[in-house]
Structure 1
Amino acid sequence: MDSLSDIAVFIQVVDSGSFTAAAERLSLSKSVISKYVTRLEDRLGARLLNRTTRKLSLTEVGRAFYERSERGLQEIAEAEAEVSRLQGEPRGTLRINAPMSFGVLHIAPVLPEFLERYPQLTVDMNLDDRKVDVIEGGFDVSVRISDLGDSSLVARRIGPCRHVVVASPAYLKRYGIPRTPEDLEDHNVITYQYQDSAKEWEFRLPGQKPSMVSVSGSIQMNNSLALREALLNDAGITRTPTFVVGRDIQEGRLQSVLTNYELPEISIYLVFPQRKYLSPKVRVFVEFMREYISDTPSWDQKTKVDR
């Protein structure tokens, strides 16, 4: 078993890029990590890593050993996951990555129900509006709200992500309701930093070709929850997902405009590393979130809109 432990630590060092980062991920001291790797090299009679004070790199032998060993450990993990799947209750820690707004609004509130349903599970959730590397970050599953193009990941669609152009009633009373996309030129548009085409928006009337409109304003943000607060405080107008503002529209705190135009629609996915077997903890989380969101999310139902 020492051999497998040494190999697992070696792989973690390579994936992390340093002994220090590997020590933090494994909750071990840097000296213990070094001991594992040295013991592995001594047993193999070969140097696997070139160590300098500034850089860590694989030797030629080390790279070949890493590639074979990484596949081998993955096969072991998949075998264990399959046994667990066949034998029962999901257990262990589910590491989730999600955008800040979606995690706060739509994952955190339902975690108690999820954990009550699967009491052998614990959850470690990381919230970050930037796109993270699922494998490098050590996550079991990540929420992606986009059009996916990364073939190295497995994706499961759990629902739609619709967008609206929205502002507070007080803002619209003061500055007027835009009737065409071109009217946005006369408005203070709040833009979201991580959104594709943040300052050039696409609109389409049913049956017609899409048109692009340039927008600008005095506020740019990198977090949808902060953007929502600015809207509620009459700071401007924006385009944002309904999962952020749907409740506010339903309850009259915000008002959607330009509703006769179609906006691009993307999807909400759960993505995870490519594996032969889907681990039980990820499988039940996918099923649970699909059940919660569906193709008609609660935040898209009975929404008050300006016609």
Structure 2
Amino acid sequence: MDKFSSIRAFTKVVQHGNFSKAAKELHLSRSAISKYVIDLEQHLGVQLMSRTTRSARPTESGQAYYERCQSILTDLANADHLVGQLQKAPRGTLRVNAPVSFSILPLGEIVADFMAAYPDLRIELITNDRLIDPVQEGIDVMLHITEPLPSSLIARKIVDTPCIFCAAPTYLQRRGIPNHPGDLRQHDCLNYGNPATNNQWKLTGPTGDEHWIQVPWTLCSDNAEVLRDATVKERGIALLPAFVTGADLRSGVLHPILSRYKAPDIALYALYSPTRHLPIKIRVFIDFLIGRFGRRLPATPTKHAEIGS
């Protein structure tokens, strides 16, 4: 039995006092409306309507049942209206997970501007570098800056950012300056990512020649700020996103190396759970990020030329 359709048919018969008028409003046949009501009575084991050839009136049990059903249908209509309004204008709470390293970018400023554009939204921002289950954690959007991407989530690219080889000047003075990708094998390297899946560096030369270097890492981490700190402390050579090392490169605390060779960009992605109807609060937030960053974060200009150039 289709209980919802039976309840709807029953309430319309009570309201009109007539099966034919109820059928006309619901665009059904009179016999279909009659069957819905009969099925409901059989399911409940009680007579709900007193019928004549021209009219129908609820019994005492039918009237009590009608009042409760009408209340339920009203609540359901209100719920439908509320969901419709949420899809027209972003409301409620948006829970965002972002990597700690991403806080180096003006994330607070971006979120503040987003809040100004959508004042009916509340933002809960959680920062950590572990890949979480958004459903289990109740997260709407995850910002993710490493690959591979989890196949169970929908990924939308926000922006590409260049990566730069760099080291502390004193480390380079002590260990020498690599001029060719192969020279990296003689150095201590600080690897960004997972050593099981991201243990090679790819460099493309000025003529398009490709070099793959098995990273002789002494420190590996999925936290770019940890690697940046170790690089500043003269622990080795790192390949890091430009937005992480930008201030240090401009001030001379770190120096770029191998600038004739280019490492692949890394991308910032927005991840969310698969859904047939993407909530508007998620869609407008991702669109806002894309509009704010553009297609690519610029390479970091430096005040100091590359050592040895």
Pair in the same fold by TM > 0.5: yes
Gaps of 5+ in 2: 1-78
Gaps of 5+ in 1: 1-76
Q: What is the rounded CA distance, in whole Å, between the counterparts of 2:226 and 2:220 in structure 1?
A: 10
Alignment of 1:261-280 (within 5 A): 261-280=261-280
Helix, strand or coil at the partner of 1:94: strand
Q: Are 2:185 and 1:185 equivalent residues in the alignment? A: yes
Q: What is the rounded CA distance, in whole Å, between the counterparts of 1:178 and 1:131 in structure 2?
A: 34
Deviation at 1:276, TM superposition (A): 3.0
Correspondence for 2:44 = none
Q: What is the rounded CA distance, in whole Å, between the counterparts of 2:91 and 2:178 in structure 1?
A: 52
Alignment of 1:138-217 (within 5 A): 138-147=138-147, 150=150, 152-194=152-194, 197-217=197-217
Alignment of 1:1-307 (within 5 A): 82-86=84-88, 88=89, 90-103=90-103, 105-147=105-147, 150=150, 152-194=152-194, 197-297=197-297, 300-303=299-302, 306=306, 307=309
Q: What is the rounded CA distance, in whole Å, between the counterparts of 2:256 and 2:286 in structure 1?
A: 31
The AA in structure 2 aligned to 1:255 is: H
Q: What is the rounded CA distance, in whole Å, between the counterparts of 1:81 and 1:154 in structure 2?
A: 23
Residues 161, 297 of structure 2: 8 Å contact kept? no
Q: Which deviates the most, 284-293 or 186-195?
A: 186-195
Helix, strand or coil at the partner of 1:135: helix
Higher alpha-carbon Rg: 2
Q: Which string of whole-angstrom CA distances, capped at 9 and with x for unpartnered residues, describes residues 113-152 of structure 1? A: 3223322222222222222222222211011224565554
The AA in structure 2 aligned to 1:154 is: I
Equivalent residues, number: 229
Q: What is the rounded CA distance, in whole Å, between the counterparts of 1:199 and 1:78 in structure 2?
A: 51
Q: Which string of whole-angstrom CA distances, capped at 9 and with x for unpartnered residues, describes residues 88-122 of structure 1? A: 3x222111112221145442343233223322222
Residues 163, 239 of structure 2: 8 Å contact kept? yes
Cα pair distance change 1:278/1:240, threshold 3 Å: same
The normalised TM-score by structure 1 is 0.64
Helix, strand or coil at the partner of 1:230: helix
Identity of aligned residues (%): 32
Residues 82, 279 of structure 1: 8 Å contact kept? no
The AA in structure 1 aligned to 2:287 is: E
Q: What is the rounded CA distance, in whole Å, between the counterparts of 1:201 and 1:160 in structure 2?
A: 18
Cα pair distance change 1:218/1:154, threshold 3 Å: closer
Helix, strand or coil at the partner of 1:302: coil
Q: What is the rounded CA distance, in whole Å, between the counterparts of 1:261 and 1:240 in structure 2?
A: 14
Deviation at 1:269, TM superposition (A): 1.1
Deviation at 1:209, TM superposition (A): 4.6
Cα pair distance change 1:79/1:189, threshold 3 Å: farther
Root mean square deviation, CA, Å: 2.9
Deviation at 1:192, TM superposition (A): 2.9
The AA in structure 2 aligned to 1:91 is: R
Deviation at 1:193, TM superposition (A): 4.5
The normalised TM-score by structure 2 is 0.64
Q: Which string of whole-angstrom CA distances, capped at 9 and with x for unpartnered residues, describes residues 157-180 of structure 1? A: 110032211112232233222101
The AA in structure 2 aligned to 1:169 is: P
Cα pair distance change 1:156/1:139, threshold 3 Å: same
Q: Which string of whole-angstrom CA distances, capped at 9 and with x for unpartnered residues, describes residues 208-254 of structure 1? A: 45222223243333421121112222222111122211232234332
Residues 81, 279 of structure 1: 8 Å contact kept? no
